[in-house]
Amino acid sequence: MKITKIESFPVKLQFKEPFIIANISNYDMYYIIVKLTTDEGIIGYGEAIPAWEVTGETQFSVIDVINHFCEPKKSGFNLIGQSINTLEEVHNLFTKIIPQGHLAIIAKAPSAKAALEGAILDALGKKHNKPVYKLFNGKSKSIPVNKVIGIYPIEESLKRVQNAINSNVSIIKLKVGIPNIGNLPDFKRDIELIKSAHKLIRDSGKKIKLVADANQGFITPEKTIEICNQIEGCLDWLEQPIYSEDKTGFKKIKENCNIKLMADESIHSFYDAKFLLESGSIDYINLKIMKTGGLFEALRIADLAAIYKVPCQMGSMLENVIGCAHSIHTYLSHPNIVTAELSSFTRLKECIGSGVTLNNNQTVSITENSGLGVEVNDSEIQKFLITEDDSITFQQTKGGFNVKRNS
C-alpha cells in the first residue's frame, strides 16, 4: 500500500465555555485535519494541534511542514509514493527514509508529525482490519475520566470539585498557577483551593486522587517549595510547577519538599525524559502525542520510564475526536501508561468525527473498528474550515497570554 495523496484542512472549533489555565485562556481551538489516501482506496485521518505556547507551531506553519514533504521541489523528498504496509515501514519513514537534513524540520513540528503519523496508522490499521493498538500488541483496558478544572474564583472551583466528587471520577486535577486572583495575593488562591478540595474529597470518603497542574506558573523552584510546604499531604502529585527550560529545578523541589512531581512541558522527547529520569527528580511523566510527535516516540519514552519505575499518564492538549483517538490507542499500547486525560473532546460545542464516547462522566470508550476507530465525514471538515485571513489576537495578561481568535 502506497500513499497517493495527502490533504491538510485548517479548522476552528469552539469551546462550550472558556478554558483558563496559567499561561493561556482558550475560547476556541485551531486544528489541522490531515486526510491521507492510498493506492488501495483506503483513507486515513490524523489531527494536529499547533499549540504555539507548547510546540512553537501555528496552524499554517503545520500546513507548510506537511506540504514541504509532499512537494519534492521544496524538500527533494516526497511522502507521496511511500510504502506503508507494516509498522516497520511507517517507523522507518520518520527515522530513516526522510533525508537527514529534513528530519530537523519535522522534529521542530511535533504536532505536524503526529497528524501525519495518525493518518498513516489509521490507514495501516484499516488495511490489516485491526485497531491501531492491536498492531502494537496492546490490550484493551478501562479508560477512567480525569476531571480537569480550569482556573476560576475559589467558590466556583470548589463547586466543580464537588460535582466531580458526586460523579465518581478517579482523579480531579486543579489548574493553578496564576497569582493575585481576586482579593487574594500571590498564590494564596491556589493554596486555599488545594486545601479545601482535599478536605471535600476526604470528607466524602471516596478514593479520588487530587492533583494540581501549574502549567509552569509557579515559575521557580524557590516559589514552588514555598507553596508546597503549605499544602503538604493534600496532593497526590503536582504537575509542571516550573518553567520547562529549568532542567534542574525539579531536583531542587524534590530535595526540599515531600511531594510527588509530574513533568509535562519539560518532556517533548526521549532525551528530555532521559535527563529527568536519570536525575531521579520526577515521579510521573505526562505524555502528549502533540509534544512527542506521535505514538512511536511516546511509547519509546514509556519504555524508558518503566526501567526507572516511573509511570506515565496519557495527557491531552484539548484534542478533537481524531486526536483523542490517536491518544487512546497510545494509552492502550503500553502497560506503563497507567492514567489518562482523554475526554477533552467533550469541551467542544461540536466535534469533527465520531467513535469516542464519554460514559456517565466516569470512563471514555472507543470503538473496536479498524484503524483509529473513528468515522469522519468530509462535510464536517468543510463546515469548520477557515482561511489564513481568520485573525488571531494575542493579549498579554498577568498570567501569560489571552488568545482570542476572531473570524
* Residue 407, pLDDT score: 45
Domains parsed from the chain with CATH numbers:
3-129+383-391 (3.30.390.10), 135-366 (3.20.20.120)
3-state helix, strand, coil in the chain (%, to 5): 40, 25, 35
Q: Chain centroid to CA 105: how far? A: 21
H-helix or E-strand spanning residue 339:
strand 337-340
Each residue of 117-165: pLDDT tens digit? 999 999 999 999 999 999 999 999 889 888 999 999 999 999 999 999 9
pLDDT band at 54 (very low <50, low <70, confident <90, very high): confident
Read off φ and ψ for residue 391, nearest 5 degrees.
-85, 155
Gap between the Cα atoms of 178 and 398, Å rounded: 8
Mean pLDDT, rounded, for 84-111: 81
Is residue 185 over pLDDT 90? no
Q: What is the mean pLDDT of residues 374-396?
A: 75
pLDDT tier at 100 (50, 70, 90 boundaries)? low
- Which long-range contacts does 363-369 make (Cβ < 8 Å, 24+ apart)? 363/142, 363/143, 363/144, 363/145, 364/143, 364/145, 364/324, 364/328, 364/340, 365/143, 366/131, 366/143, 366/325, 366/328, 366/329, 368/131, 368/140, 369/131
**Does position 101 have pLDDT exceeding 60, yes or no?**
no
Given a cut of 80, is residue 400 above it in pLDDT? no
DSSP string covering 92-128, please? HIIIIIS-HHHHHHHHT-HHHHHHHHHHHHHHHHHHT
Q: What letter would DSSP give residue 42?
A: -
pLDDT for 99 equals 61
Q: Does the pLDDT at position 114 exceed 60?
A: yes
Average pLDDT, the chain: 91
Angle at 75 (CA atoms; ends 71, 80), nearest 5 degrees: 40
How much is the pLDDT for 145?
84
In this prediction, residues 329-339 reach a mean pLDDT of: 97
